[in-house]
Amino acid sequence: MLASHTALLLLASLASGALGASYTQSDSHTGDGFLKSFAHEAISDPTHGRVNYVDQATALAKNLTFSSGDHFVIRADHTTKLSASGPGRNSVRLQSNKKYTTHVTVWNIRHMPVGCGTWPAVWEVGSNWPNGGEIDILEGVNDVSPNQATLHTNSGCSMPASRSQTGSSTGNNCDVAATNNAGCGVKAPSSNSYGSAFNSAGGGWYAMERTNSFIKIWFWSRNSGSVPSDVKNGATTINTSNWGTPFAYFPSQSCSISDHFDEHNLIINLTLCGDWAGQSSVFNGAGCSGDCVSYVNNNPSAFTNAYFDIQWLKIYQ
């Protein structure tokens, strides 16, 4: 009996490990370390925003990317009035050099871009979109809270209507073709998870755990009393089973994570207007006047606070 009991304990331990509760830090990025681990993507915006993504040399020269100690900042240009017939407002899109499958990311963010026309995002994506999947961790438009976490996939991926999460679902079909690219989103329960309220609170921590069994996303505001110590301290080892109920939970129940999600690059970007933020009903519905593109062209000072300030990023595998 004792041997049998020991074997059961071992099996339970292995099962727990397979669920991905415990992880070890594999990468840590802070300050100018981001410049070594991420590449500036000077590409046409896939979401058709009124932006001109610049390369690293340009971003550094124009102070759109800079670091000081544990501050890493990326931002949109906030001094130039644009010609209607010229390129969009200079901005930054970063992509990690490394790719990940089963992993945890913890983002310690002090400040995120705000203002009419802004569409910031922290996310992950495969190389053959949408077949390789997309995980949006932090995303929203026009300074409207709360944050929304979303999966985007090809066909055959959906989420159960009832599941263990604190957020509220905006849709349960993750298929971009069936949802006009809306995917299956979950809104966080707290207003300080996004935008001006996020910044006023000093930001906070976003964490995402991806396994073949589920994808989970958490948020803790800067002064929350429930921030796990391993999250707050950026510990070298973490245990996600101690983090409580995530605000977004995407189980593999009706969606094979391994089939719909390939290796992912991490992305940080700020676009303006585009397919979501630039819709007139969305832009005006947020209390923004006129049309988004004209607003972006003619009001450079409106983007003074359109920047990310990231304290660090820890990645665990």
Give the model's pLDDT for residue 33.
97
For residues 16-33, give the mean pLDDT.
82
Cα–chain-centroid distance for residue 178? 23
Q: Is pLDDT above 80 for 13?
A: no
Q: What is the DSSP letter of 203?
A: -
Token pair recorded at residue 228: 């796990």
For the segment 48-100, what is each residue's pLDDT rounded down to a tens digit?
999 999 999 999 999 999 999 999 999 999 999 999 999 999 999 999 999 99
CB atoms within 10 A of CB 53: 23
Pairing of the two strands 103-111 and 22-29: unpaired
Categorize the per-residue pLDDT at 1 as very low, low, confident or very high, splitting at 50, 70 and 90.
very low
Categorize the per-residue pLDDT at 191 as very low, low, confident or very high, splitting at 50, 70 and 90.
very high
Taking the C-alpha atoms of residue 309 and residue 298, their distance in angstroms, rounded to an integer, is 25
How many Cα neighbours within 13 Å face the side chain of 126? 19
Categorize the per-residue pLDDT at 6 as very low, low, confident or very high, splitting at 50, 70 and 90.
very low
- pTM (two decimals): 0.93
Which positions are annotated as active-site residues? 134, 139
CA dist 99 to 5, 68, 72, 139, 317, Å? 40, 26, 21, 21, 12
Which residue segments constitute the domains of the chain, with CATH numbers given?
21-316 (2.60.120.200)
Taking the C-alpha atoms of residue 235 and residue 212, their distance in angstroms, rounded to an integer, is 24
Taking the C-alpha atoms of residue 48 and residue 98, their distance in angstroms, rounded to an integer, is 26
Compute the mean pLDDT over every residue in the chain, rounded to the nearest whole number.
94
Q: Is pLDDT above 90 for 137?
A: yes
